[in-house]
A and B are shown apart, each in its own frame.
Chain A
């Protein structure tokens, strides 16, 4: 049978979606974990891990980026941070964590993914706030607005498109990073690919690849729509080549 047929059979079989014993498995300590033989459970786990990582990164990067951007300080630091993070392989962080006190599994993967989700949010929040036209800021100050009011009522609305773009980039990137969790005993959709490779069922590998790609594209599209909805209409621009 061809690989495409194998892949189709895997995806079109109901039990592969719901799992042989449901979506969850009991663990020895009385808790539960997501079943690894259910596409649905792995997808939910994948989204949960991505959401946790982006949430963690946003909670720290947004206030920091907005504050630094408002003060127009630390621009070099944010650029350096995003450059360095590009050179660090995700696998490096995951294996370093595994051998350290952080350990491996989903929690370690969430922390690692959050570290990679941090720079795009920070850089965009900083740039968005810092690049607000100086004349606009001066006009607002001239009208008697306090610094806090300038930040929240003038700079933040104008910076919002860039901030939203940063969140989108970060979310898409995180959903694409989480599959690597399967390499260090974590969950998520990468498990299908990893198991397929280990057992030489290449139809499953192909199906896993398609599922992961589809999920990433869906999340990217959803975040793109959200970004557009949240951007005030006058600020919506359509540029071919993003900066």
Chain B
């Protein structure tokens, strides 16, 4: 049987080419992602090794009990006093202990100009530390000049100095929380073995200066070198016993492993994300496979009938078809894995040329191979099952029949199953979106999938009347060509429906995302309608320095500045996000979506919908426990948008709970009659001296910026869906190609009675265009519908208006029509150049 299957594939490989391409594309997407994330993981694990492996033991804050998401590169609070360092140094087996401190700031380039541009102000981060002078502690070796000996000296890493335009002896500016600080560059260091910093800038200053900038002479970490022959983990345990609560000692090796593991966890999400898109692509590919095998089975009815006649059982026939599918799957998965690996390799070369070395060795991970074959084989086999079953029911009599026309089975069963699935899908989606289930994406995702299959099945029934409705129109416009094209679509409703549905899936997702993002834009616009603020202040470094706000408040024409801070507190032992506002001014600057307004806070707290879901209500008492202290607050109101902060408090409470909390956003309100544009220039000039990285956006600019981000989101997802759309178009081309082959005689006859090649081409093109547009329209209806349901479900996040992305929909329709013509190019060409004599030649 296997030999027969292989021979059959070999005998007519052309009809399986596009099927193989479809599977290979999907597999390639998965393989490329696995290869890239594997290489990234390798690169970062090397980085973490270099950061931590030189140090024998690291003493640091214990993993955050407040459940902060830990950013391995961010500066942490000073938690160790000088006495703690001495205590650690006195522990048995410790050769030396150093207090380490990170300074939050950005090393400015020599030619830096303030730009008020959010995108440009970011850039690669700076990592600034106090200098120990011991490579095992600093993880950096001085390779030129000297270490920072006096407080106005600094060293940079060897790559950053030329990149930022500094040479030894130059004055280096650093933007910090207390303003722009200046230093003299006295030395260059190399980080680890190869200075692979993934694009970041590394700088070291004296201990005293770093303490002055941070405004705190404590340390956030203690690095320990053990005595020769001492066991690092034993020493770590000994240190642990004398440490204050909330801190820990860990060996450098363990720390590196822990960081790598955390990073891999993040990468896993990328893998899952990419596999989701690969699955979408393969799901679309499955439609092509179904169609291809269905057509092949029809074309080979006589052959199968003959095999049955000479004693091959139906089951054997079925096995043979599935084996053929397996052969296709293995071949195309292999191609896909190789292509994916090469693509990842190429991409890594390009990325590294642009942004420096961030990947480890790019090797083909076993994950990529396993997933590639499993996905490829699974999709192909599952898709071939129905056609295989169909083949197994062919009776030996078929071999003797005159023509190989597919028997016109009624669509009733298909309609019943389709209708049931559609209903089931809709129910699952509604349950997922509105019932407040724990993991709503599971019923929603499954529901969407079932809905798609249901609609695909129903599409066959919809296509029949639609093709007839279109027939009159197409006949009027394109005469016979149009009529024949409409007839062809209608003749094989299953096949046309499957083909159109493949495109439908891609377009549906596009329309869904477009509906969501356009509604998000409406949300942004609405939010700005209640806005009184003249400017929004942002910092590219994260938090906005207090000093900067003082500068703004001190300028003429500024009425007041109101700020939002963020922190984390414990509520009944649960980490809870707390937002801090000034109740007197916040509501004046911005019309928050709350009940009542913030100025009614009265020293209490406002809670968001997630808290309401958790059972809290106005009038309840909240026991909040922060890093600085605890507070018992009465709930005085509700904040109606989810996702910003769970509990809102005033500034006094904020300080009592959190001490100094980071300010994430500030709003500036000007005096009446002050020209905003002139004021913006004035404020930026004032900020340029000490806080050049701060950005001041007018509401218009801010809205535009927000919309840019939303468009970027749409762009990224559209690009990821590209593979699915390409596969869908291949599907249209494939179906047409096979049906052209099937219609050889008919096309030959048309040519014989005088239809020109041009007309034949046009006929195929119309057919393709109609199928493409039909799939697109179906996809748009589903996509906008699902998008609207999604927006409704996210009401708690502030969504109020469902915006139908008409412009995008129009664009998609036009694109679909063009794509249809493009997809028809090869089949139309094949049909037009068909030899008439061959077409009308008879077997007898």
- Do A and B pair up? The answer is no
* Chain B residues close to A by CB (< 8 Å): none
* Chain A residues close to B by CB (< 8 Å): none
